[in-house]
Structures are given as C-alpha cells and as structure tokens.
Structure 1
Amino acid sequence: MSTPYRTTPTQTLSVLVQDRPGVLQRVAGLFSRRGYNMDSLSVGACEEEGLTRMTIVLSCETAAVTQVAQQLRKLMDVLDVRHLSRQPMVVRELLLIKLQAPPESRPELLSLVETFRCSVIDVGQASIVIQVVGDVDKNNALLRLLEPYELLELTRTGATAMSRGT
C-alpha cells in the first residue's frame, strides 16, 4: 500500500455560508462545473450559530482562485469568501494512522511519536493508532519516517485554516 502524501496547498479559501441543506452541494457543483478539483474540503460549525465555515484547498493559479471566489460570492447562502493564502494563516489537519506494531518495534515508534508531538490513542496486541495534528509538510514528514512499518489504515481530515492575528 502506498502512503498518500499531500502536497503543500497552494491556495486556501475560507467560505462562510448559511447552515442549510443543499449548500455544500451547490458549492461542490460550482467546482465541478468549472473543472476545478478540491485538494481538501473541511466543513464545520463556526463562531456564529446558524452559519458554517468551509475551508477549501486548491492547487491552481491565483487568478483561477480569484475567479472561483467571485463565483462563490454569487451563490445563494454564501455570506463571505476569504482568500487566506494572501495573508499569514494557520493551517492544520488531523491524521489517524494505524500501524502494525509488534512489541519489539514499539520503543522506536514511541520515540517518533514523541519527536513529532503526536499521541498514541489506541494500542492493540499487534497494532498501534497514532493521532497527528499539524501542517501538511509535518504530517508528510512523519509518514515518510513511518514507511518501514506496515501501514494498516490511514485517514486525513483535510486542512482547516484561519488568518493569523486580528
């Protein structure tokens, strides 16, 4: 099984929408119609009740993202679109990694977990589950170091982001 590395996102949008049925479908449909692929889509509650924030990561030129942002603003239920890549931002994603981990390999694995400030969230007789929170580059670096171990299962949340400061 190959390890699914992600490239560092080139463009990140933050989209504030009404929390209503069908909004996600309309946003995804816009990307589909325009022929753009989302590298990552993270959707969840935000600071205001009744609203949802979407973090959309794309690998495309700035001009294309500007055009997509303009199209998003025209959609019903879209209240705000911010091009976060134009300013300092904080980006994180969550990985859950299940590895084959017989007792003799655990000390080395635990050392890697400590070095990358991860957490062991489950230990079985022959496996271990690691939780990693960080930016894409850090998470990919850990995955490269874990290549000698048998990867049983992996899931990534996709990026979530916000601008730094006020």
Structure 2
Amino acid sequence: MKHTISVLVEDEAGVLTRIAGLFARRGFNIESLAVGPAEKPGMSRITMVVPGDDSIIEQLTKQLYKQINVLKVQDITEVPCVERELMLLKVNATSATRSEIIELAQIFRARVVDVADDTLTLEVVGDPGKMVAIAQMLNRFGIREIARTGKVSLPRESGVNTEYLKAQSSLEARF
C-alpha cells in the first residue's frame, strides 16, 4: 500500500539529504517527493509517497522523529486531505489535431501554456489520478515530454472525505 507522509522540518541545510539518506539506508523507495516552505518562517513541509505496510511506516515514522530537525511526522494516508499535483505535458500537435487536443485539455481543466508549430504544452493541476487520465488520453497524439511535481497534501479541517464521497456517488450511479 502507498502511504502519504507529511513531515514538518526546520528549514536547515542538509535536512532533506538526511531524510532521503534514512530511506535509502533502509532500502525504501520514495515514489513522490515535494518540499516547500511551510506556514511559519524557518519551517518546511516535506510530502512523500512511500510504499509499505503499516508496520514499516510506523518504523519509518519513529526513525524520522530521531532526526535532529524533524518537528512533526504524520501519516495522512487515511486522513481526509486535499491533494494536488502539477504536471507539464508537451504533446505533438499538428494543425489537424490541435483543436482536438485543446478540447481534451478543457475537459480536464488543463491550460495551454506554450504553443509551437508542432507542439502544445499543457499545465494540469489536480489529484494524481487526473494526471494519469489526461496522459492516457493524449498518448495517441505522441507525448514528447512530461514533468511532474510530487504530490502535496494537507488534511481537510472540515473532515470531509471526498474520496469516500466519490466512491459513494459512483456506487449510487450504478444502481
């Protein structure tokens, strides 16, 4: 199972290197990594997606707390969260296919951020599933390049679990 781990750290040189080293020494892969300033000056938030079962994640959490600059570690996998990712996608676009690509972009609420004679570059923001879906749809035109950020995530203060609501509405639609 993939777990989303949120780590609040002091913004000091080498913190990310020590955390990544901790994972590497234990043979764990980090599938997604996003780092940026947090809500207070001098703090950063690291959001990681890590494969592993609950006991492995618990062990990693304990190891993270032993790091000097780590302030808070939270496994937010089962917590209702707002999750987003950014993807830039450069796709082949001829004069014959350009309008169809733009229509698909609009369906996914993607923005065209660069136009060239033979390509379009799109900016897509949303949950990781949306990234996979638009890439699959645009694959037939020929994707030249993709750049994706790691997933960023914050717990929902409302406590509303939108993933649960999506699952429920999809079940209701079937019946």
Aligned to 1:162: 154
Task: Please state how far the C-alpha of 1:139 moved relative to its aligned partner.
Answer: 0.9
Task: Please state how far the C-alpha of 1:107 moved relative to its aligned partner.
Answer: 1.0
Task: Please state how far the C-alpha of 1:91 moved relative to its aligned partner.
Answer: 1.1
Deviations 1:79-118 (A, max 9, x none): 0001111311111111100011111101110110010011
Aligned to 1:27: 19
Q: 2:132 aligns with which of 125, 136, 140?
A: 140
Q: Which runs of 5+ in 2 are unaligned?
A: 159-175
Query: For the residues of structure 1 that align with 2:29 and 2:144, how far apart are their CA atoms?
Result: 27
Query: For the residues of structure 1 that align with 2:29 and 2:56, how far apart are their CA atoms?
Result: 12
Tell me if 1:80 matches 2:104.
Answer: no
Deviations 1:38-69 (A, max 9, x none): 00110000110001100011121121111111
Q: Which structure's relative contact order is higher, taking Cα pairs within 8 Å and 6+ residues apart? A: 1
Tell me if 1:93 matches 2:85.
Answer: yes
Query: For the residues of structure 1 that align with 2:48 and 2:18, how far apart are their CA atoms?
Result: 14
Aligned to 2:163: none
Please list every run of at least 4 consecutive aligned residues from structure 1 whose deviation after the TM superposition is greater than 3 angstroms.
Answer: none
Tell me if 1:61 matches 2:53.
Answer: yes
Amino acid at match of 1:76: I
Q: Pairwise CA RMSD of aligned residues? A: 1.1
Count of aligned pairs: 158
Task: Please state how far the C-alpha of 1:123 moved relative to its aligned partner.
Answer: 0.5
Aligned to 2:165: none
Q: Which runs of 5+ in 1 are unaligned?
A: 1-8
Tell me if 1:46 matches 2:45.
Answer: no
Query: For the residues of structure 1 that align with 2:22 and 2:102, how far apart are their CA atoms?
Result: 44
Aligned to 1:120: 112
Superposition TM-score, scaled by structure 1 size: 0.92
Structure 1 range deviating more: 72-81 or 60-69 = 60-69
Query: For the residues of structure 2 that align with 1:10 and 1:59, how far apart are their CA atoms?
Result: 4
Query: For the residues of structure 2 that align with 1:62 and 1:119, how far apart are their CA atoms?
Result: 38
Superposition TM-score, scaled by structure 2 size: 0.87
Task: Please state how far the C-alpha of 1:10 moved relative to its aligned partner.
Answer: 2.0
Aligned to 1:14: 6
Query: For the residues of structure 1 that align with 2:132 and 2:80, how far apart are their CA atoms?
Result: 21
